[in-house]
Amino acid sequence: MDSHSHEQPRLIDRFGRHVTYVRLSVTDRCDFRCVYCMSEEMSFLPRAQLLTLEEMALLGRAFTELGVTKIRITGGEPLVRKNVIWLFQALGSLPGLKELTLTTNGSQLQRYATALRQAGVRRINVSLDSLDPDRFRAITRVGSLDKVLAGIAAAQAAGFDKIKINTVAMKNRNDDEILDLVQFVVERGMDISFIEEMPLGLITEHDRAETYMSSDEVRARIASRFELVPSNVSTGGPARYWLIPGTATKVGFISPHSHNFCDACNRVRVTTEGRLLLCLGQEHSMDLKRVLRAHPGDLERLKQAIVAAMELKPKGHDFKLNEKPILFRHMSVTGG
Ligand code: SAM
Ligand code: SF4
């Protein structure tokens, strides 16, 4: 064995894919109610069903000892979970972890940006679908644009290496702001990814097939004002990136309806309840909370369960826009 063998990924599924990236949902709760993500009235999980932060930290240790190098904290809104900074600090000190990152709606960033940066988070994603306060309120149902913009400014001041904006592109809802949003990130040296809406969870507010906008349409819109040069950057997920020459900005397009990325899929998710999901679009899972609670603190058992779960990872997802039944998990439970 060569001297680098300890760095080789050890989570390998039946199709030879190496799992090196975990998305961990730390809460299903949120201070927003985005129309594509939640219904107006949501019932959230009882707290006893959620993993504790200590259990999550142990999971992080198990995964990194199995070769995982990147953990993204998501939710729900991760920053509404009490003491979540403790978890960032615990994960941030794990040897083997190269990247600890976060997806947030930005509402609490003003308060937490500096602590996150100090815990070792170097890049963050902030979701932002509109620069118009009324429209922002309509899409999030309750959110304040001012607060999110102040959060983004605080993140810039805290010195993250990169801030990326995530925008769900929706026809007749925010598609007329695509160019403005790109301008916004270009001026601030940030990146932006446009996400196609995914059919996750039952929502009441709109018909997804009507608001659906493909990445190709979004890209054509951007190309009307900005030069786009394809980049070969790949994160092993459903995102493709383009550069805007003369700027620091990368533009990503996340097309979950495409199957092209499944072959290179390098990721798994852990739900708030400790269910290890092997594919965002399928139900294959393993209950890691059961292992954690039957054998508290037993790192080896946890690692065995994770290795065994690799056998369950399916070849690909199966999203269809118009077909029902759809998956009954909301994005806030699986971790976006
Ligand atoms: N609350 C945080 C936030 O909004 O960034 C993190 C969790 S949220 C579920 C993660 C990402 O998923 C957000 O960028 C959000 O816009 C996106 N999202 C939620 N529901 C979606 C859906 N049905 N289709 C596509 N993207 C969705
Ligand atoms: Fe909350 Fe994020 Fe879902 Fe919006 S997308 S409701 S901010 S979890």
Band (pLDDT 50/70/90 cuts) for residue 232 is confident
Could you read off the pLDDT of 134-172 as tens digits, one per residue? 999 999 999 999 999 999 999 999 999 999 999 999 999
Q: Which atom of ligand 2 is nearest to the CA of 76?
A: 8
For residue 235, with 0-12 CB atoms within 10 Å meaning exposed, 13-18 middle and 19 or more buried, which class applies?
A: middle
Could you read off the pLDDT of 20-70 as tens digits, one per residue? 999 999 999 999 999 999 988 989 999 999 999 999 999 999 999 999 999
Instruction: Confirm or reject: Cβ of 333 under 6 Å from ligand 1.
Output: no
Could you read off the pLDDT of 296-336 as tens digits, one per residue? 999 999 999 999 999 988 888 765 544 443 444 555 555 55
For residue 168, with 0-12 CB atoms within 10 Å meaning exposed, 13-18 middle and 19 or more buried, which class applies?
A: buried
Instruction: Confirm or reject: Cβ of 102 under 6 Å from ligand 2.
Output: no
pLDDT at 165: 98
Residue 148 Cα to ligand 2 midpoint, Å, equals 13
Residue nearest atom 13 of ligand 1, based on CA coordinates: 127
Residue 170 Cα to ligand 1 midpoint, Å, equals 13
Q: What is the mean pLDDT of residues 207-233?
A: 90
Q: Which atom of ligand 1 is nearest to the CA of 256?
A: 25
pLDDT at 258: 67
- Report the candidate in 135, 134, 128, 178 with the shortest Cα–Cα distance to residue 153: 128
pLDDT tops 50 at residue 233: yes
Can you name the residues that pair with 170 across neighbouring β-strands?
212
- Report the candidate in 216, 33, 190 with the shortest Cα–Cα distance to residue 107: 33
pLDDT at 314: 87
Higher pLDDT, 325 or 7: 7
Could you read off the pLDDT of 67-96 as tens digits, one per residue? 999 999 999 999 999 999 999 999 999 999
pLDDT at 205: 62
Cβ contact 77:51 at 8 Å? no
Closest listed ligand to the CA of 269: 1
Domains of the chain with bracketed CATH: 21-334 (3.20.20.70)
